[in-house]
Chain A
Amino acid sequence: MDLELILRVYPFFLEAAWVTIELSVLTAILGLTCGALGAAARMSRMSLFRGIGAAYVSVFRGTPALIQIFILYFGGPQIGIQLDSFSAGTIALGVNIGAYMTETIRGAIISVDRGQTEAARTLGMSRWETMRKVVLPQAARMMIRPLGVNINALIKGTALVAPISVIELTYTAQRFIGSTYKPFEMFLLSGILYMAIIYVVGQGISWLDRRAQIT
């Protein structure tokens, strides 16, 4: 193993890790937003919205994320959508993980006992008041862990933007392999940095989950 090489290139990898973190954070925010909207649509009273929600989930879970990224980045300009690679990658990944998060959020909401809704409605609370004050606070606790799983997948999924030349961890490793011919060291370095990011995020999610279960 070429330690000297690693010491020479690691600042570039740290910068790339920062890009991976940025991608992850933006993707997570977009994904959670899409997930919340998707879950609301899937559980809407109106069949049109339920249909849209179901179509969203099945399209984005039913095709490879890489294809979704390619369609947006390479295919986009053909239909008048011109995005830089970072934006295209973030949007495609965010909308993709949002489909998974839709199901996570919906699953947590429907796992709240029906009796909770009945009790609140019986007192005279409206659908929305019941959702906001009774169902969502309970569902929120139950969705922390599964959303954590989605976020873990999302961080690893950011590697999929390497082919459209976003200078994140995977792309950076590939770029240095081109000049150094040392794939073992380069991928190892990327891998370690991914693991560090995932470890920290995982700890944060465990902490949130513990806090939520206290009461």
Chain B
Amino acid sequence: MTEYAFVTIKNAAKSYGALEVLKDINLTVQRGQIVAIIGPSGSGKSTLLRAINELDPLTSGEVWLEDVQINRKLPFRQYEAHVNQVRQDIGMVFQHFNLFPHLTVRGNITLAPRMLKGLTEAEADTLAEEQLAKVGLSEKIDEYPSRLSGGQKQRVAIARALAMKPKVMLFDEATSALDPELVEEVNLVMKQLAEEHMTMIIVTHEMDFAASVCDRVLFMDQGVVVEEGPPSVIFQNPKHERTQNFLRKHLNR
């Protein structure tokens, strides 16, 4: 039996016109692994993450989830059906939460499962309650997003993604838009997911969090992965000068 890696990215490249944003990136994320992507602004971290679920398709290269190629070249209709299917397995959390403001917390969490998985209202309610309990927001089930704090919004956004029972979760600077005192509650939820061995790819500017939660850290700069390894090596003993310079600015020591 073949042991599939969970996420495989092969020779990924992406350009916007003449601007090469990603250059020949290779990455394998094993089942249950937690990978942090760090690097300066504009280095291509978001672009890489968004290539995984085809929000920003690659110019060339391949993205696989287990034995399914995500970025298949297909005629439009088939392509749409294909991405709609594979995206159900890939949860994503955005810097600005992107909750649906016209729906309650319950509506935010149950919209996609009801439409795509045909859950009944009762099943969907149970699901929403389960997911909210997980992120510690059971009492907010009937609130609208506008009445939540930033940290609460992001926890609801995580619950919404988890309600699709994804195989992997992508986080794009999930705490960057939060006031400092609200960061911890979101980090706690992510740590809890780590303990449950959710496969996660986390773009972050928080080095301490990356060091404490992740199995591997990738340092990206100018569209390439400059260096990768376990956090102990990347943070304590980076080989490349670019990594050292970046960390000097971002670690206060």
Measured in the bound complex, the distance between the Cα atoms of B55 and A121 in whole Å is 8
Measured in the bound complex, the distance between the Cα atoms of B85 and A126 in whole Å is 9
Contact A118 B87 (CB under 8 A): no
Measured in the bound complex, the distance between the Cα atoms of B160 and A121 in whole Å is 13
Q: Provide the residues of chain A in CB contact with B88, threshold 8 Å.
A: 123-124
Q: A115-B98, A137-B102, A138-B101 are in contact. Are A125 and B112 (CB under 8 A)?
A: yes
Convert A112-149 into 0s and 1s, putting 1 for each residue whose CB lies closer than 8 angstroms to a CB of B. 01011011111111110100011001100100000000
Contact A124 B85 (CB under 8 A): yes
Give the secondary structure class of A's interface: helix
Q: Provide the residues of chain B in CB contact with A215, threshold 8 Å.
A: 102, 144
Contact A129 B115 (CB under 8 A): yes
- The 10 A-B pairs of least Cβ separation, nearest first, read A124-B88, A119-B98, A123-B112, A115-B98, A124-B87, A122-B92, A137-B102, A124-B84, A126-B84, A124-B116
Interface centre among A118, A119, A121 (most CB of B within 10 A): A119
Contact B100 A118 (CB under 8 A): no
B92 to A: closest C-beta gap in Å: 4
Q: A118-B55, A215-B144 are in contact. Are A123 and B164 (CB under 8 A)?
A: yes
Is B80's CB within 8 Å of the partner chain A?
A: yes
Interface residues on B, range: 20 to 34
B53 to A: closest C-beta gap in Å: 6
Measured in the bound complex, the distance between the Cα atoms of B101 and A115 in whole Å is 12
Contact B94 A133 (CB under 8 A): no
Q: A126-B80, A133-B115, A137-B102 are in contact. Are A115 and B87 (CB under 8 A)?
A: no
Closest to A140 in B: B102
Closest to B157 in A: A119
Which chain B residues numbered 30 to 77 have a C-beta less than 8 Å away from chain A?
53, 55, 76
Q: Provide the residues of chain A in CB contact with B111, threshold 8 Å.
A: 120, 123, 125, 133-134
Q: Provide the residues of chain B in CB contact with A141, threshold 8 Å.
A: 102
Measured in the bound complex, the distance between the Cα atoms of B85 and A115 in whole Å is 20
Is B22's CB within 8 Å of the partner chain A?
A: no
A91 to B: closest C-beta gap in Å: 35
Q: Provide the residues of chain B in CB contact with A138, threshold 8 Å.
A: 100-102
